[in-house]
Amino acid sequence: MQKKIPLENESLFTKLQNLKTLIAGASEVKEDIETLVRTLNEHCVESEAYQLKTALQVNIEHLREILSGSDDIQFREFWIVPFQVKAAIVFLEGMIDQGIINEHIIEKLTASRSSHKFCLEQLALIDSIRNIILTAASVTKEDSMEAIISRILSGDAALFIDTVNTALVIATRKVEFRAVAEPETEAEVLGPRDGFTEELRVNITLIRRRIINPNLIIKKQHIGIRSKAEVAVVYLRGIANFKLIHEVEKRLKNITLDIPAPSGMHNLLEDKPFSIFPTVMSTERPDKLAAALAEGKAGILVDGTPFCYIAPSTFPDFFKAGDDYYEKWLPAALIRITRYAAAFFALTMPALYVAVTSFHPGLLPTPLVLTIGTSREGVPFPAFVEALIMEALLEIMQEAGIRLPKIIGPAVSIVGGLVIGEAAVRAGLVSPPLIIVTSFTAIATFSISSYRLGLPLRLLRVPLMCLAASLGMFGVMCGLLAIAVHLSILESFGEPYLAPLVPKSRANLSDLKDTIVILPATQMVERPDYLEPPDGKRQKGE
Amino acid sequence: MMDRLRKLLCAFLLLVFVLPLAGCWDRRELQERNLVLAIALDLADEGLKPGQSQETVKAETFVQPTGSKRYRLSLQILKYEAKGAGSKGGGGQGARKTFVLSNTGESLFEMVRDMLGQSSRALYFEHMQVVIISEAVLRQTNLAPILDFFFRDAEMRSRIRVYATPGQARPLLEFKPPTGEPGGIYLNNIARNHVKNAHIGTARTDLGHIIQALDNDADVIMPRIDIQDEVVKIRGLAVFRRDRFGGYLDEYAVQGIRFVRGTERGAIITAPCPVHPGEILALELVKHETKLTPHVAGDDIYFTLDINMTGNLSEVHGAQPNTYDYKNKDALEQAFAQEVLANVSYAVRQSQTVGCDTLYFGSKLKAHEPETWKRVKERWDEIYPAISLYTSVNVRIRNIGVHR
């Protein structure tokens, strides 16, 4: 016994050991299986893998599998009484017009009429349902599951009929959308009051209504590997250069993002995404798009955003407003020059202030030196720090103004503008001239017609200020030079960013008629030459 | 791609780090600069502050190892008042906007730099308005060596006014303008009124013009400024032979000189009334055409001057009511022409007595008769006082100022 015990103990020990490893292995396997099940459950169902079968029940099972995750999908099974076939109609509950489904589909199919026999004699089952019984406006035959699914997801109803491996898709879409309203980001005095909405079809009608011409081409495609957002390229055939259209379509096709944000589409289309300057303009105004189309540009309308993208967009385009064309030309030209000046000041004003007060007071007239010196006496910070503080304050206030609920807006302006500004001066932390400079800068930024061009100007102010604080006016000039170089390198859909401003040849000189200045409409006989439109003449006659 | 990005980032960071290292060296906030508005130059033991003891003079004095001529340099410096003090009523009209520092020595530049020992902030000359030189200094030294510092220094501007004063120069810096302007700006602005008054001889006399005159080897003129108690006035000209002080010309001579040179832009000419003896008339000059031409006949050089003036009758004493009859116009024009003629010949006589070519005869001759100029250039100082000027004046009264 004495001898055996260790032996038995040993075998028992190994057995226990084995059991332990077994349990550990089993729990591992369990975990593996659990993750496998989870991944299987969450596995993205590829609708291409399914094919339409003749048996209704199978088709419905397939649909349930593909759309099983969503609860808003509706299956309605019924009998087509006259033909004595089972059928099912599938739709998304929030996106359809129930009236059409009730009156024009189910009611028609379940009612029995004498003429039905005649139908079957003349036509196949599916065709007789489509052509004779259904009274909906648009009924199409589809036999690929993928297409059917995408139609259902965009609000149409699919009718599956037993014994037939084709489904009928009926246009029943009725989506709630915002009414056409005045554009909020691009206010104008004389311009039309309608603006784009989030609904692509409405946007297209807004354009169609403006240009009644068979050559207004609207080419739709889907982008986004998962979202399949609908995008329409709009252009005027015979006016837009086909190379441009080709380029636009190519870029849209090349978007590999799975769910692109419709309002950020310009970021996916730009030539140099790392540049801070916008090279694709977005507009809310149909009249602006129509005018761009007439110049030979292309528009990109995206479902889900009230912003339409214009390709190509060059630097001077961002300074144009619709009012320029509706106003008399001379005031319009002056206003446009004002905008350029405003952009320059928005960019350089704080930098110039810093450079002049801390490096070159000799540049100022003596009485002005006295004024600035008196107001800055006792301010503890150098002009640069002072300007940085005000700049930060301005940016924070702008951001607060945008993000806050509109009701609190006035409170922000009172606290920010009056209390902080006034109190900072009273306390001697900031000098009054700088308050003037900062507010002037802010207002100058707002007066540029494009919000998106304002952003890089706001951003570049700070580096320019740093240059001004370290190298004085020399630094400011270096900075401006660098910006100028950058602008001249940029391109928008292959067109130089400074396109009409810097003419390629003497033939392009006439493009300058609509850049910094603007001439009367009667004088602008030609379309912009840099776009190379096939038909360059804008006005007929002579 | 990553490699390139990293390289770019390195270059960018390098640039960013270099900027604050290399830059900023001459960054100095505007309110931390002492801006000099005016400079006064006196002899070393003149130009003291009233009641200044010899002890303070000693304290200010800068001992320079070389040189024997000693000047007192006074700087008028702009003073900023803090906002709070101004709003409490202390500032505004009453307060002085400037203060004066002074020093003695010979090199102006060295004195200026030594002045930093008395100043909490560095001195800057970019907003210099006036330089005032006392007659005593001018009599001791030529003008060029005194002004040389102003010609060479990069911070000096050509539009600085240069004045000569018969008394001491420093009191002018301490003068408190009634307008509340800083003193230097006030002194500069007085000189701008020459447009409306032909007595003020400040046209083309600023630092830039003096440099030009010295470079061209021409005679320098500069306005004379006087201070008596609380009265500051520009009176006539200080004239130089080349850069050697020659004396002063009075206001009447200044007007005559400006008639000859055609630099008057507005003038009031008074003449005795031919119709009412013992009363005077005044004409406001509106337009003038002046033509000074040199003539050479053998060794004889003479000048002709044609003056055509148009003006409005602006003041009449002795006619009741205050209107004037058109039929007397010719007589009036005659009277004014006589007056202008007298004025011109007075100015020419004065200038030739002093021996300073204030009439620019030399440069006219150089421009019109370069050959002759070459011949007489060396002897010009002898020839100039003897040159005759033949003047013809034609005055036209455009408007007699009728009012009913």
Encode pLDDT of A378-388 as tens digits. Answer: 888 999 999 99
Q: Write down the pLDDT at residue B83.
A: 52
Q: How many helices (H) and strands (E) does chain B have?
A: 14, 13
**Dist CA B327 CA B139 (whole Å):** 54
**Dist CA A34 CA A37 (whole Å):** 5
Q: Write down the pLDDT at residue B402.
A: 67
Residue B206 and residue B321 in one domain: no
Contact A369 B30 (CB under 8 A): yes
Residue A379 and residue A487 in one domain: yes
Residue A122 and residue A90 in one domain: yes
Q: Is the pLDDT of residue A48 over 80?
A: no
A468/chain B closest Cα distance in angstroms: 9
pLDDT band at residue A82 under the 50/70/90 scheme: confident
Q: Write down the pLDDT at residue B91.
A: 43
B143/chain A closest Cα distance in angstroms: 27
Q: How many domains does chain B have?
A: 2
Q: How many helices (H) and strands (E) does chain A have?
A: 20, 12
Residue B120 and residue B269 in one domain: no
CA A232 to chain centre: 13
Residue B5 located in a structural domain: no
Residue A509 located in a structural domain: no
pTM higher than 0.80: yes
Higher pLDDT, A7 or A334: A334
Residue A142 and residue A259 in one domain: no
**Sequential pLDDT tens for chain B (404 residues):** 778 899 999 998 988 888 877 767 788 888 889 999 999 999 988 877 777 777 777 787 777 777 777 899 999 999 887 554 444 444 444 567 899 999 888 889 989 999 999 999 999 999 999 999 999 999 999 999 999 999 999 899 999 999 999 999 999 999 999 888 899 999 999 998 888 888 888 888 999 999 999 998 889 999 999 999 889 999 899 999 989 999 999 999 999 999 998 888 888 999 998 888 888 889 999 999 999 999 999 889 999 999 999 999 888 887 665 556 777 888 889 999 999 999 999 999 999 999 998 888 998 999 999 999 999 988 998 899 999 999 999 999 988 776 64
Residue A511 located in a structural domain: no
Residue A204 located in a structural domain: yes
Q: Which residues of A touch B185 (CB under 8 A)?
A: 366-367
**Dist CA B102 CA B59 (whole Å):** 11
Residue A165 located in a structural domain: yes
A430/chain B closest Cα distance in angstroms: 12
Amino acid at position A435, single letter: I
Q: Write down the pLDDT at residue A305.
A: 93
**Dist CA A247 CA A493 (whole Å):** 7
Residue B106 and residue B162 in one domain: yes
Tokens representing A127 are: 């065709």
Could you say which of B225, B249, B273 is where a domain stops?
Answer: B249
Q: Which residues of B touch A468 (CB under 8 A)?
A: none
Could you say which of A149, A170, A191 is where a domain stops?
Answer: A170
Q: How many domains does chain A have?
A: 3
Tokens representing A145 are: 């599951």
- Cβ of B5 under 8 Å from any chain A Cβ? no
Residue A372 located in a structural domain: yes
Residue A351 and residue A305 in one domain: no
CATH number of the structural domain spanning residue B353: 3.30.300.210
pLDDT band at residue A402 under the 50/70/90 scheme: confident
Residue A513 located in a structural domain: no
Residue B97 and residue B155 in one domain: yes
Residue A458 and residue A336 in one domain: yes
> For an interface test with A, which of B30, B88, B161 has the most A Cβ atoms less than 10 Å from its Cβ?
B30
**Dist CA B355 CA B246 (whole Å):** 8
**Dist CA A123 CA A530 (whole Å):** 57
Residue B37 and residue B150 in one domain: yes
Region A403-410 average pLDDT = 83
Q: Write down the pLDDT at residue A155.
A: 86
Residue A126 and residue A250 in one domain: no
Q: Is the pLDDT of residue A4 over 60?
A: no
Residue A138 and residue A205 in one domain: no
Average pLDDT in chain A = 88
Residue B65 and residue B160 in one domain: yes
Residue A349 and residue A418 in one domain: yes
| Domain around A300 | 200-313
Residue B230 and residue B284 in one domain: no
> Among all residues of chain B, which has the CA nearest to that of A427?
B84
Residue A244 and residue A269 in one domain: yes
Closest partner residue to B31 among A362, A377, A466, by Cβ?
Answer: A377
Contact A375 B83 (CB under 8 A): yes
Could you say which of B227, B249, B271 is where a domain stops?
Answer: B249
Residue B286 and residue B375 in one domain: yes
A478/chain B closest Cα distance in angstroms: 12
Residues of chain A numbered 385-444 and touching chain B (CB < 8 Å): 428
Residue A536 located in a structural domain: no
| Domain around B393 | 261-399
Q: Write down the pLDDT at residue B90.
A: 41
Residue B199 and residue B277 in one domain: no
Residue A143 and residue A206 in one domain: no
Residue A210 and residue A161 in one domain: no
B97/chain A closest Cα distance in angstroms: 9
Region A277-289 average pLDDT = 94
Residue B75 and residue B209 in one domain: yes
Residue B15 located in a structural domain: no
Higher pLDDT, A40 or B350: B350
Higher pLDDT, A331 or A143: A331
Residue A142 and residue A252 in one domain: no
Residue B361 and residue B232 in one domain: no
- Interface predicted TM-score (ipTM): 0.85
- Cβ of A371 under 8 Å from any chain B Cβ? no
Residue B53 and residue B95 in one domain: yes
Quote the longest CA-to-CA distance of chain A.
Answer: 126
Residue B21 located in a structural domain: no
Could you say which of B249, B280, B308 is where a domain stops?
Answer: B249
Residue A39 located in a structural domain: no
Q: Which of A327-336, A350-359, A428-437, B22-31 has the lowest mean pLDDT?
A: B22-31
Q: Is residue B162 within 8 Å of B133, Cβ to Cβ? A: yes
Region A304-323 average pLDDT = 93
